[in-house]
Amino acid sequence: MTYSGHAKAIAILGLPLIGGHLAQFAIGLTDTVMLGWYGVEELAAVTLAGSYFFVLFLLGAGFGWAVLPMVAAADAEDDETSIRRVTRMGLWLSLLFATFVVPAFWFSRPILLALGQEVEVANMAAQYLKLAGWGLYPALLVVVLKSYLAALERTQIVLWITIAAAFANGFANYALIFGNWGAPELGVTGAAIASIAAHMVSLAGVVIYALIVLPEHNLFQRFWRADWEMFAQVFRLGVPIGLTSLSEVTLFAGSAVMIGWLGAVPLAAHGIALQLASATFMIHLGLSNAATVRAANAYGRKDRAHLARGAMVVCFMSLGISVFGVVAFLVFPEALLSLFMEHDNPERATIMTIGVALLAVAALFQTVDGLQVVALGLLRGVQDTAVPMIYAALSYWAVGMPASYVLGFVFDLGGVGVWLGLVAGLACASVLLLARFWLYGIRKLPAPV
């Protein structure tokens, strides 16, 4: 396949995945925008709670993401039995993980207080998490089933289901946060209920589609029967993926905690800037998912030349997309930040000042953030996850987190210093993971004759 052929194939597969990730992002964005209208403390609380939730969610989502390369490789070999076995055990592991960690949501208040958060913000965040934590069950099951569908290149339906969930979340937020349409005014509790509603809409959509359109896989027939061999395989691949995601998300969660030490207003500005940075990251994440599917197909067929050419194309596509993020954050920061605040907000000027500085730093890490997640996608496609997990831990915990603390508090750069630490961690990960793929991952396949 030519380079242009690869670009076209990646775009066809990746655009619906990018759209799906942006629609998923819109759910969190809606929470941020509406709570920003509702109050600064409420926005700060859900920013903190969102970081807490996603630490646990992304750890458990490793099992769902393990399904993506395994099903794609099985599909390349026309092995429908393995497709069913992998997906079913991914569902099992996700349910078990959710059951194990749900108590952490119930006891979030003392944990947040121990991390040095303001009492009122911690109280509201814990109130949100006690309810939103139950959404972990449907959220993780959705990751497994979306991965199953994406691996089979059924990406259009993934997009439409996620859009439906985003609309459900938006309507529920508008009704329950503010008390519109005769609903009670519930503030952060309303946002938690809306989040659960969105996860349930997604779960219903993917289950119904799998049952009606792909009945030959019989995903839920004799669901209770154990398959310990495949359980172990998904577990071995999924745990490193989850821990890799945990490494990155704890870097960002740690940054939220550190900025929380500076007060509710800086934390609110951090939450807004992070939402904007996450929007561009979703595009790279969609490319990463497409890279996983394409790499896994090449891996299943033992086609190194196809893998190498596709990898080069997806890396250059990621670099091209980064340019747009850099321009947006440097040229239009005030306009972007204004989307999240009412004009009469008494803290508006302070939040804008902090937010503009944070977006300037976000422009710095656009390129490396995109490349590191694309490299992870390629490595997952060739089922190489253990060493990348170590690289991620070193980059985010040994480089990024200490750099954030030193620059933010020792050098007294505040929120900007914390975010510069993010740049250091992401840059380190980008270099290590790209080197891992090109020096080792691609050599897992035999050289072309």
What single DSSP character describes residue 116? T
Q: Residue 78, by phi and psi: left (phi above 0), alpha (psi -120 to 50) or beta?
A: left
Please, what is the average pLDDT of the chain? Answer: 88
- State yes or no: pLDDT of 222 exceeds 90: no
Average pLDDT over residues 386-392: 94
Most confident of 223-227, 244-248, 315-319: 315-319
pLDDT digits (tens, 9 = 90+) for 330-354: 999 999 988 877 677 778 888 899 9
Residue, of 250 and 315, whose pLDDT is higher: 315
Average pLDDT over residues 359-375: 91
- State yes or no: pLDDT of 303 exceeds 60: yes
Q: State the pLDDT at residue 206.
A: 92
pLDDT bin (cut points 50, 70, 90) of residue 261 is confident
Q: State the pLDDT at residue 317.
A: 94
Q: What is the DSSP string of 42-90?
A: HHHHHHHHHHHHHHHHHHHHHHHHHHHHHHHHHHHTT-HHHHHHHHHHH
To the nearest whole percent, how much of the chain has pLDDT over 90?
A: 43
Quick check: pTM over 0.85? no
Q: State the pLDDT at residue 326.
A: 92
Alpha-carbon span 179 to 106, nearest angstrom: 26
pLDDT digits (tens, 9 = 90+) for 394-429: 999 999 999 999 999 999 998 899 999 999 999 999
For residue 167, count other CB atoms closer than 10 A to its CB. 16
Q: State the pLDDT at residue 295.
A: 93
Tokens representing 24?
Answer: 């998923």
- State yes or no: pLDDT of 40 exceeds 70: yes
Alpha-carbon distance values, 291 to 15, 129, 317 (Å): 12, 34, 11
Tokens representing 216?
Answer: 């030959």
- State yes or no: pLDDT of 37 exceeds 90: no
Tokens representing 63?
Answer: 């099992």
Contacts of 319 (CB under 8 A, 6+ apart): 367, 370, 371
Residue, of 310 and 268, whose pLDDT is higher: 310
- State yes or no: pLDDT of 297 exceeds 80: yes
Gap between the terminal Cα atoms of the chain: 16
- State yes or no: pLDDT of 166 exceeds 60: yes
C-alpha dihedral (243, 249, 254, 257), degrees to nearest 10: -130
85: number of CA atoms within 13 Å, CB side? 17
Alpha-carbon span 442 to 436, nearest angstrom: 9
Q: Are 84 and 142 in contact (CB under 8 A)?
A: no
Please name which of 425, 421, 446, 432 lies closest in space to residue 376, comparing C-alpha atoms: 432
What single DSSP character describes residue 344? T
Tokens representing 366?
Answer: 């656009």
To the nearest whole percent, how much of the chain has pLDDT over 70?
A: 99
Average pLDDT over residues 263-292: 87
Average pLDDT over residues 357-362: 92
Average pLDDT over residues 39-46: 80
Q: State the pLDDT at residue 248.
A: 80
pLDDT digits (tens, 9 = 90+) for 112-146: 888 777 788 888 888 899 988 899 999 999 999 99
Tokens representing 213?
Answer: 């359109």
Q: Are 414 and 408 in contact (CB under 8 A)?
A: yes
Average pLDDT over residues 311-320: 94
Average pLDDT over residues 81-109: 92
pLDDT digits (tens, 9 = 90+) for 177-220: 888 888 888 888 888 899 899 899 999 999 999 999 988 888 88
Q: State the pLDDT at residue 449.
A: 57
Quickly tell me which residue has 């194939």 as its tokens: 9
pLDDT digits (tens, 9 = 90+) for 8-29: 988 888 888 888 878 777 776 7
